[in-house]
A = this chain, B = another copy of it.
Amino acid sequence: MSHFTDRLLEAVRSKGGPVCVGIDPVYERLPESLRSPGDDDVLEVRVDAIFAFVQKIIEVVAEHVPAVKFQAACFERYGPDGLGVYHALTAEAREAGLIVIGDVKRGDIGVTAEHYAAATLLDAAAGDDDAAAPDAVTINSYFGVDGVKPFTDVAAEHDKGVFALVRTSNPGGDAIQNLPLTDGRTVAQAVAQLMAQIGSDPRYIGASGYSLLGAVVGATKPGDAAALRRLMPQQMFLVPGFGAQGAGADDVRACFKADGTGALITASRSITYAFESRPEVDWAQSIEDATIEMKRQIGGIVG
């Protein structure tokens, strides 16, 4: 395999847009035809329905987008069975030619971070880097360098990627991430510079010039994106918050570099639950339509 960012850039080119479909399956919101109201107190029934739902999403979006992002929490809430389905679907998505990002937001220190890196970037159950592990994961940056490097070192060894939280998309993040430091930076900007520095290790840089250590920068904070883009020239941005969380194409413009690369825009609920507002249309068709429409919107700003 080649460097994660080189694979990602190639996939963006071949699919025609830096768009990622976020998959956050919630049983209660699945299409009626997939639910079994009579016996859905049985864990297996719910997990099986989620599997069928996501399998179909993979099938309809694979030709349109370079990447999908799995929200690990939605699977972990169903315990070991849910985790098994997460890995099985990861394998299906990769088999379908998609780059898979495991949105696990793990974070810890030293040897514990090494365990999490093994658990999330490699296939824990198989004990090896096989098809059922994602291409990249999200991590929490609050621990600093000794919380990040255990992940990036594993990623470097296995041609994988890591996206560290810099600026989250939720309103409450401001109360910490926007605090002004005495040196004129905000907390998020300080985190950005630290990630840029950690990510600049030559072992982490691909042919494209991007680092395997990227950054999560919420689409809902357009005022912050330009400064963060300058502070992290080698970081690929994973940009959540498009769609259901309220951000549009104009809001994510500053996450890209002048050449139109540098960001992967993610929408989750606005795509995977698009069928809720179109009861007259087949649910999978609604998801495909919403994917194509989002790609069109993003295409309008990156050319």
Spell out A's residues near B (CB within 8 Å). 24, 26, 41, 43, 71, 73-74, 76-84, 87, 105-113, 115-116, 118-120, 123-127, 140-148, 165, 168-177, 179-182, 187, 190-191, 194
**Complex contact A142–B141 (CB within 8 A):** yes
Chain B residues lying within 8 Å of A116, measured Cβ to Cβ, are 73, 76-77
**Complex contact B112–A24 (CB within 8 A):** yes
**Complex contact B182–A180 (CB within 8 A):** yes
Partner of A105, one of B108, B146, B179: B108
Chain B residues lying within 8 Å of A179, measured Cβ to Cβ, are 181, 187, 190
Distance from A150 Cβ to chain B, minimum over Cβ atoms (Å): 10
Known: A105-B140, A179-B190. A79 touches B172 (CB 8 A): no
Distance from A274 Cβ to chain B, minimum over Cβ atoms (Å): 17
Chain B residues lying within 8 Å of A191, measured Cβ to Cβ, are 176
Partner of A176, one of B87, B106, B144: B144
Most buried by B among A77, A111, A123, A194: A77
Known: A127-B41, A181-B179, A187-B179. A77 touches B146 (CB 8 A): no
